[in-house]
Structure 1
Amino acid sequence: MVKYRLIDFDKDESEVIRLLNQNLTPRNNKEFFQWKYINYPGGKSTGAVAEVDNKIVAVVFYLPFNFYRNGKIINAARPISGCTAQDYRGRGIFKNIMKFCLESYKKDYKFLFANPNRFSHPEFMKMGWKEKTSYEYRVGIIFPWDTQNNLNLTSHSLPSISKEIKISHEYYLSGGTTDMLKWRYSDKRYKIKKIQTTDGENYIVFRLHKKASLKLIILCDYIGDENYINAAIKEVCRIERTCFIYFLKNEITAKINLLLSKRHKQAVITYLEEEPEIIHNIGFSLGDLEGTI
């Protein structure tokens, strides 16, 4: 018989980490566990486990994951790190633990979203989740050596006191506060650059990927005035001495002037709405969809 209960973050940590490493990615450890599920700026995740004969065979977390725009907020939650031990798959455990965990989630939310892998995606669709199909990953070539580009990008230590970042467009972003940016991109592989303009502060977040002799800018996030994104990514490419970028095509990155771009693959985004049309107000970034979360 399968028993479902809320996770005990102290008692269950080691067993849950072992389950995650066996069925998802092997990067989970105590530090990563604390960062991802406990230290999120919006509050600790709600986690649930499924047990058979006192053995944890499945786990899922609901992370409070809100979207911001100039003082306004869309309260959201996202299921993350859901997995079932291989010997117990095909018994409906994933569906049941998802339902149990969401019913146990006590924070307010109007929107749920997930970027499931190829194994869990069919289960989300069976549960009635919808799919956003307009986002895709692309590789682009840009000409960065523009003498008219005079933006000043500085490496920036985000302030200890959280503040909202002024956004010039109509979309709500998860990175709309400095607290969220600091948490999400705390790993040293990410670079956060600030662009100070007369209109305020703008932030561009990226990491580098090298394959053979090719250096690629992975554009993770851009928050602020989208009218500066083209100049900002050009300056990043100039500094890093490359003209290749990898990005999620969305409403904001569409403003980047590329010499050439090629589709890599479609982004997988599933969602549920408590109120109609919320999905049209959300601007997802590549950072939102990275497997780290």
Structure 2
Amino acid sequence: MQIRKATESDIPAIVELLKSSLGEGLIQKSERLWIWKHVENPHGASPVLVAEADGKLVGVRAFLRWQWQYKGQVLQAIRAVDTATHPDYQGKGIFKKLTLQGLDDAKEAGIQLVYNTPNESSKPGYLKMGWVEMGRMAIKLKVNPFAYKQSTDADAPPQDWGKLETILPQLNNPVEAEQVQTVLSPAYIRWRYQDNPLFNYCFLSDYRSYALFYRIKAHSFGQEMRVVDLLIDKKAFDKTARKQLSTAFKQISKACFLTSASGRHFELVKDVYPSMGLLPLVYKGPIVTLRNVTLEVAQFNELQQQENWGFALGDMELF
């Protein structure tokens, strides 16, 4: 068996391997999705390793590039995401070999941190390879019992992405710089939300002082309004803008049984958010795990504490 870096010509075989190993599931596998996710990412193209045996690809391990900002420093990170082993070759340690080789490559490339959101089944394997568990992500929830099992979407306001892009350079994450947060840019917003081939993201904006990004997710109990990012121009986000955002937000959320947002993001900038109800935070979000690559031990210890993070749901959402 040979382990090597993937090339663009491997993409069709990688997609077929993902399908044969994982099935379609909730997220359909396609070359278009792979290219959007692992090639067009403005944080950088993903390091991808493949395992070859008997003249075919039998394993793949991809690490999504991500840039976090923390106390004035840009942290170069990767997110351990798409991985698959051909059904005929499972149980041969291919996942571990690809992952450990990926860590070696990451160190040479100057990557400082690996993070991911494993499920309960995959978490033990990561912990054995040196990952540490931060815990479950805090979530802020608002429940509207009158929308139980309601399936009629509230109409999103007109979505002028071109007009929105003209104000994005003036908008920022309202979280202070001492909290870990994604490095934002107009290119990132366009890639993450406008061009996303998986989900239909919408936004609320006055095209002047704020942009709230969200998507509607269907559940058996009704609909969820998932708030994934909220950006503002602190100088321009005045009383009039707050009222306008609150009115637009209420129009959408009243059609949803559940409205959700990152608990950390909400707690840090709750004065910016429209009304999210009185329910306390619940630690029911994804499990977050970290793996140090080249950080100083003291800094990595800081990053293990969720109170040092200001992530939005859009930063941690699986896609």
Q: Which category of TM-score, normalised to the shorter sequence, fits these structures?
A: 0.7 to 0.9
- After TM superposition, give the deviation of residue 134 of structure 1 in Å: 4.7
Matched, 1:236 2:249: yes
Question: Which residue in 2 is equivalent to 1:8?
Answer: 7
Question: Which residue in 2 is equivalent to 1:150?
Answer: none
Shift in alpha-carbon separation, 1:214–1:284, aligned structure 2, 3 A: same
Question: Which residue in 2 is equivalent to 1:108?
Answer: 110
Question: Which residue in 1 is equivalent to 2:172?
Answer: 166
Shift in alpha-carbon separation, 1:168–1:154, aligned structure 2, 3 A: farther
- Counterpart Cα distance in 2 of 1:212 and 1:97: 38
Deviation >6 Å, runs of 4+: 225-231
Deviations 1:105-133 (A, max 9, x none): 45433221111234432211111101111
Gaps (5+ residues) in structure 1? 144-152
Over the residues paired in the alignment, what is the CA RMSD in angstroms? Answer: 3.4
- Counterpart Cα distance in 2 of 1:234 and 1:112: 39
- After TM superposition, give the deviation of residue 44 of structure 1 in Å: 1.2
Shift in alpha-carbon separation, 1:50–1:230, aligned structure 2, 3 A: farther
Shift in alpha-carbon separation, 1:235–1:7, aligned structure 2, 3 A: same
Instruction: Work out which of the residue numbers 278, 285, 289 in structure 2 matches 1:270.
Output: 289
Tell me if structure 1 keeps the 8 A contact 2:263–2:281: no
The AA in structure 1 aligned to 2:289 is T
Identity rate, percent: 24
Question: Which residue in 1 is equivalent to 2:203?
Answer: 192
Shift in alpha-carbon separation, 1:132–1:76, aligned structure 2, 3 A: same
Tell me if structure 1 keeps the 8 A contact 2:138–2:281: no
Question: Which residue in 2 is equivalent to 1:43?
Answer: 44
Greater displacement, 210-219 / 154-163: 154-163
Greater displacement, 181-190 / 248-257: 248-257
Q: Look up the SS of the partner of 1:77 in the other structure.
A: strand
Deviations 1:34-80 (A, max 9, x none): 10111011221111001221221111112220124797522211122
- 5 Å-filtered alignment, 1:148-227, equals 155-157=159-161, 158-159=164-165, 163=169, 165-170=171-176, 171-174=179-182, 176-185=184-193, 186-187=195-196, 189-195=200-206, 201-211=209-219, 214-224=222-232
- After TM superposition, give the deviation of residue 183 of structure 1 in Å: 0.7
Shift in alpha-carbon separation, 1:239–1:175, aligned structure 2, 3 A: farther
Q: Look up the SS of the partner of 2:284 in the other structure.
A: strand
Shift in alpha-carbon separation, 1:282–1:240, aligned structure 2, 3 A: closer
Shift in alpha-carbon separation, 1:215–1:167, aligned structure 2, 3 A: closer
Matched, 1:124 2:126: yes
- Counterpart Cα distance in 1 of 2:232 and 2:23: 33
Which is richer in helix?
2
The AA in structure 2 aligned to 1:128 is G
Q: How many residue pairs end up in the alignment?
A: 278
Greater displacement, 33-42 / 117-126: 117-126
Which is richer in strand?
1
Tell me if structure 1 keeps the 8 A contact 2:20–2:87: no
The AA in structure 2 aligned to 1:271 is L
Deviations 1:141-184 (A, max 9, x none): 369xxxxxxxxx87452438984743332323226222212111
- Counterpart Cα distance in 1 of 2:42 and 2:182: 11
- 5 Å-filtered alignment, 1:87-102, equals 87-102=88-103
- TM-score (normalised: structure 1): 0.79
Tell me if structure 1 keeps the 8 A contact 2:205–2:211: yes
Tell me if structure 2 keeps the 8 A contact 1:205–1:222: yes
- Counterpart Cα distance in 1 of 2:66 and 2:200: 22
